[in-house]
Structure 1
């Protein structure tokens, strides 16, 4: 199909408009983070007369941001590691072994993505409460409760993604390794996992972003000691004041780990997503 000049112009205008929808909010956030508080409450200025880094200094003392950052890091890293390890084992078993219920298991894993997460909020809260009453393990307001919650939602998608990736790999790789003396576990660790690294990285990034930016369950299942960043950012809005400049500065700082991580693994992430999706 030959593109006409008018079509090219229309496409360029459309892309420019869509780009502005992304760039303008980012620009407002960055500019606001460098403004004094008195300049934020008035009419918005696209280029402020005064720029200061004080919001980036004050944001650590206005709310316990370092504590929230630590909580998010603990919950996110542990949930990501557990999800990836369990997904590797489950996906490898599903893609390599034939057993009764294999197809049903895949359908159940895929069907979990059909339901919105808010449907599970009350059942999870009641289950955690009952667990505490029965065996004395506190899940509501604890790291363990948040980790199990995030694991519940990231694990099915991780299994589905890695199942497609492992199924695309020839089984002859493990068979040749086992002929040379490796066990099934040795072939998985030394052959399959290195080859599947792009897919594993893609799944890891998905799990990390899902847990790092989650708001709904963290707002109900956490307390003041386990509050994560996504909930802690709301503390900049008090009953009397809203520290918009510090909130924007904190939002930028919170986004940096995900942004830096994405830039580091960008190439492997894209190849892993495409490989899993094609299969």
Structure 2
């Protein structure tokens, strides 16, 4: 049975409004990135008086954007890889084995997502300073320290999501692999993990996006040498001027890796999130 005409018109109107709501900021960002600075600093116009690609070349010179880009890439990829390996092993053990405190552990893992990140900022800072003084291992203002920091809130969600996804995979696959002489790790990597690729992709995207755009911890636990993109964009605002066109151009460039990754793996992401949510 077809929906009434007014329902279809209302649905279309809502979709148009939502599309404009999403696309309008992107259009403003794109237009501002190719407009001269005098036009961006003046009253906003939907069509700029002139177009220029100079902001895309000058943005690398105004601030050390290349170094910030490298720091963000290294930290995001390392945090994603570490959280992926640890989450896969932990989630498989929780999903396939029954042990005392299993339910409490899962509840604790999930409850960590309820606390705001600001609560962990000062404790992590004190821990890093103490480790540096006692063990001589530098964690503050280093990429390693930032990777460890991102693991503290990316890993719990990744474990919880993969537990639900592994639960949706029949245990008969593990048993068949064990009968063929494969050990538990062999069953995981040869049988279960290839089946769970959508869930693994969802975890990878989540970990990368979280680390790539994080601002709070990166603004405190880094210095000029290890600063990431999310914090480094503030360098376009000086005491005398704000290079808005370069900020917009840099923001577009910064968004490219995340957008491309999401577009390439969006189907796996949706499948992984759906399976994890249903089973959990």
- CA distance in 2 between counterparts of 1:56 and 1:254 reads 12
User: Is 254-263 or 267-276 further displaced after alignment?
Assistant: 267-276
> Residue 33 of structure 1 corresponds to which residue in structure 2?
33
C-alpha displacement of 1:11: 2.7
- Structure 2: give runs of 5+ residues left out of the alignment: none
- CA distance in 2 between counterparts of 1:179 and 1:9 reads 59
- CA distance in 1 between counterparts of 2:89 and 2:224 reads 35
Number of positions where the alignment pairs a residue of Structure 1 with one of Structure 2: 279
Runs of 4+ aligned structure 1 residues displaced above 4 Å come to none
| Residues 39, 49 of structure 2: 8 Å contact kept | no
C-alpha displacement of 1:2: 6.7
> Residue 24 of structure 2 corresponds to which residue in structure 1?
24
**1:48 paired to 2:58:** no
> Residue 83 of structure 1 corresponds to which residue in structure 2?
83
- CA distance in 1 between counterparts of 2:261 and 2:182 reads 34
> Residue 197 of structure 2 corresponds to which residue in structure 1?
197
User: Is 29-38 or 5-14 further displaced after alignment?
Assistant: 5-14
> Residue 124 of structure 1 corresponds to which residue in structure 2?
124
**1:245 paired to 2:236:** no
C-alpha displacement of 1:201: 0.4
C-alpha displacement of 1:144: 1.1
> TM-score, structure 2 length as denominator?
0.97
- CA distance in 2 between counterparts of 1:13 and 1:273 reads 29
Coordinate RMSD, CA, aligned: 1.2
- Structure 1: give runs of 5+ residues left out of the alignment: none
Q: 1:178-217 to 2 correspondence within 5 Å?
A: 178-217=178-217
C-alpha displacement of 1:5: 2.7
**1:66 paired to 2:60:** no
C-alpha displacement of 1:8: 2.8
- CA distance in 2 between counterparts of 1:2 and 1:45 reads 43
- CA distance in 1 between counterparts of 2:219 and 2:39 reads 31
1:265 partner SS: helix
> Residue 235 of structure 1 corresponds to which residue in structure 2?
235
> TM-score, structure 1 length as denominator?
0.97
> Residue 154 of structure 2 corresponds to which residue in structure 1?
154
Q: 1:265-276 to 2 correspondence within 5 Å?
A: 265-276=265-276
| Residues 154, 207 of structure 2: 8 Å contact kept | yes
- CA distance in 2 between counterparts of 1:23 and 1:263 reads 17
